[in-house]
Amino acid sequence: MSTAAATAARAWRTLREPERPQVAVEVRPGGIGVVRLRKEGRLTVLGAAASMDLPPDVIRPSLTQPNLGDRERFRTVLPAPSNGRECWGERRWR
């Protein structure tokens, strides 16, 4: 296979098989959950997972209303970034 044909085949494969997200976040009224995947060679494996129950009315999933019922309580119940670094990454919750 020529270099041009190999490049075209790789481009076509990329369009047909897009890269899947490496992080999934579940938001529910009673808590949140996060799963992070990582590559291990050609395999995708579980990198980290975390789930946290939250007090009532801290999160209110909605398509039309703000999702944070109590922003200050949300900030106080989340772990410090250093404690959640495995799954949350280096970013801070805002």
Which pLDDT value is given to residue 18?
73
Cα–Cα distance for residue pair 40/65, rounded to 1 Å: 40
Which pLDDT value is given to residue 90?
46
**SS3 state of residue 21:** coil
Res 93 pLDDT > 70 = no
What length does the chain have?
A: 94
Mean pLDDT of the chain: 78
Closest CA to 60 of 72, 70, 51: 70
Mean pLDDT computed over 52-69 = 86
Confirm if 41 and 31 have CB atoms less than 8 A apart. Answer: no
Cα–Cα distance for residue pair 32/9, rounded to 1 Å: 40
Cα–Cα distance for residue pair 23/44, rounded to 1 Å: 12
Q: Which tens digits make up the pLDDT trace of 2-34? A: 888 888 888 888 788 777 788 898 888 888 888
